[in-house]
Amino acid sequence: MTVYLPIAELSVNIFIILGMGAAVGFLSGMFGVGGGFLITPLLIFYNIPPVVAVATGANQVVASSISGAITHFRRGTLDMKLGTVLLGGGLAGATVGIWIFSWLRSVGQLDLFISLLYVIFLSTVGGLMLWESVRALRRAARNEKVTLKRPGHHSWVHRLPMKMRFKKSKIYLSIIPVIALGFSIGILTSVMGVGGGFIMVPAMIYLLRIPTNVVVGTSLFQIIFVTAYTTIVQAATNYSVDIVLAFILMVAGVVGAQYGVRVGQKLRGEQLRALLALLVLAVGIRLAIALVVTPTDLYSVSIRGFAN
């Protein structure tokens, strides 16, 4: 059964889109990630114009992050003050990101830039995750106790000025690195169509030394508002949010996520992470190959910015 996507201006098989949404939703439920970094490349592989894939991906992340954020809000594992500072940086970053996005689009380098960013991020994150999970697996095989390094001592981050007290997180921290982190993630949200949790969470834990229990909830808080803002601005400036595509992805995604959570609770963490790492690497490699292999046609035509 085909369905016409009014903004992407093409007909697609609804079951392929549903399958994509459900599979990514399942993985995101299993690993507790937003899934934007998988949805956008998959849409590009399925010939959705990258302009539409990125904007629609951001919209989809709103839906996939909201239930997690509600849960954390109820449990109280959300630092509203820290989240607001992050969000301030995030909104500014998203605005700058949209400028970059529109400019790249006008000079015809948007598709390349999106692919390059994905190759860099997916291979880095996938590689690190794989390395980490293989080490954990080998430790488990040797029956060693997992020793968590206590991020105790202070780094350069904690010597910065403009400090603020965050009661919920029980830390006293300069707002400069917090805003900078939010800002960079905001740029990624608008240029790549991702929530950015896969970068923000490790950065908050290892760089800012924020207690782990509030990290996920606080990052979700920031992600929801920044992706919502990006969706609206993309719709207003590039007219590139496809509501039909987004809705199919959302519905399949949120249902898939529920089952992913259940499966994830039963399986072993290290093996799961190794699997996700391989998947992330595979998507990155597939994108990298597309950049290097001689294209079947060196020419392309675009009308009003959309390739056809």
Residues in contact with another protein by CB under 8 A are 2-4, 6-7, 9-11, 59-60, 62-67, 70-71, 108-109, 112, 116, 228, 231-237, 239, 241, 243-244, 246-247, 250-251, 254-255, 257-258, 291-295, 297-304, 308
At closest approach, how far in Å is the CB of 305 from another protein?
8
Return the number of the residue (58 or 129) whose C-beta is nearest another protein.
58
Two structure tokens written together for 3: 């369905």
At closest approach, how far in Å is the CB of 213 from another protein?
20
Contacts of 164 (CB under 8 A, 6+ apart): 81, 85, 172, 173, 174, 175
Return the number of the residue (46 or 163) whose C-beta is nearest another protein.
46
SS (H, E, C) 210-267: CCHHHHHHHHHHHHHHHHHHHHHHHHHHHCCCCHHHHHHHHHHHHHHHHHHHHHHHHC
At closest approach, how far in Å is the CB of 243 from another protein?
5
List the beta strands (DSSP E) in 133-184: 163-166, 171-174
Contact 214, 168 (CB under 8 A): yes
Return the number of the residue (10 or 136) whose C-beta is nearest another protein.
10
Return the number of the residue (74 or 170) whose C-beta is nearest another protein.
74
At closest approach, how far in Å is the CB of 31 from another protein?
17
Contact 227, 58 (CB under 8 A): yes
Return the number of the residue (177 or 284) whose C-beta is nearest another protein.
284
Contacts of 73 (CB under 8 A, 6+ apart): 217, 221
Return the number of the residue (38 or 248) whose C-beta is nearest another protein.
248
Count of C-beta atoms within a 10 Å radius of residue 31: 20
At closest approach, how far in Å is the CB of 210 from another protein?
25
At closest approach, how far in Å is the CB of 299 from another protein?
4
Contact 260, 27 (CB under 8 A): yes
